[in-house]
């Protein structure tokens, strides 16, 4: 069964690119005491993810902050180097924290894994967005296969 509103996030370790290179970050530390907008997607550099999902959150970062979001995180089952390259390609800067769930551990633990083996993509994340308040899921919007609507920044803004 997948994660739901009111659930505490499981303990996991993400990777992100720090000043000195790849660094682990514990989910407990990342979410502690903050209200975080998290959006997850099937893969860096993929069409919808690059053209709509990530840019939408970048464009709406200030509006999300005005509604009480302390931090925005993009999560994908990619390695930290791919997430860093995509961040630079998309000019993300410090606007969004790019979190790599390279082994799909967190994604599987919350029950939002996608089997992309039929497309040569392996295990991936479903497309979703959630608000996490001090480690607890406050809102969760999971897309139906092939859709891009309820996980968008605009949808999130309209529903918080």
pLDDT, tens digit (0-9, with 9 covering 90-100), for 151-160: 989 999 998 8
Tokens matching residue 8: 């505490």
Residue pair 104/115 in contact by the 8 Å Cβ criterion: no
Beta bridge partners of 146: none
- Report the SS3 class of residue 38: strand
pLDDT at 152: 87
| pLDDT tens sequence across 106-140 | 999 999 987 667 676 667 788 899 999 999 999 99
Q: Which fold has domain 13-158?
A: Glutaredoxin (3.40.30)
Is 74 marked active-site?
Answer: no
Distance of alpha carbon 17 from alpha carbon 68, whole angstroms: 25
- Residue written as tokens 């893969």? 43
How would you list the strands of the sheet with 136-142, edge to edge?
21-26, 13-18, 97-100, 71-76, 35-41, 128-133, 136-142
pLDDT at 39: 94
Distance of alpha carbon 5 from alpha carbon 109, whole angstroms: 15
Distance of alpha carbon 63 from alpha carbon 50, whole angstroms: 20
- pTM of the entire structure? 0.92
Residue pair 93/117 in contact by the 8 Å Cβ criterion: no
**Residue 27 Cα distances to 16, 30, 46, 117, 120, angstroms:** 12, 5, 25, 27, 29
Q: Please check the confidence at residue 26 and state whether its pLDDT lies above 80.
A: yes
Query: Which of 140, 149, 148, 105 minimizes the C-alpha distance to 10?
Result: 105
Average pLDDT in the chain: 91
Q: 40, 49, 92, 114: which one is catalytic?
A: 49
């Amino acid at each position: 069964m997948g994660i739901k509103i009111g659930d505490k996030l499981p303990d996991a370790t993400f990777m992100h690119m720090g000043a000195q290179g790849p660094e682990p970050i514990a989910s407990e530390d990342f979410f502690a005491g903050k209200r975080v907008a998290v959006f997850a997607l099937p893969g860096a550099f993929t069409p919808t993810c690059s053209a709509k999902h990530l840019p939408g959150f970048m464009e709406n970062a200030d509006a999300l902050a005005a509604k009480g979001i302390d931090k925005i995180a993009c999560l994908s089952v990619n390695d930290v180097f791919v997430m860093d390259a995509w961040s630079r390609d998309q000019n993300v800067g410090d606007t969004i924290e790019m979190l790599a769930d390279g082994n799909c551990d967190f994604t599987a633990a919350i029950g939002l894994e996608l089997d992309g083996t039929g497309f040569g993509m392996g295990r991936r994340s479903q497309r979703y967005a959630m608000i996490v308040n001090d480690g607890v899921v406050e809102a969760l919007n999971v897309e139906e296969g092939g859709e891009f609507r309820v996980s968008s920044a605009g949808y999130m803004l309209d529903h918080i």
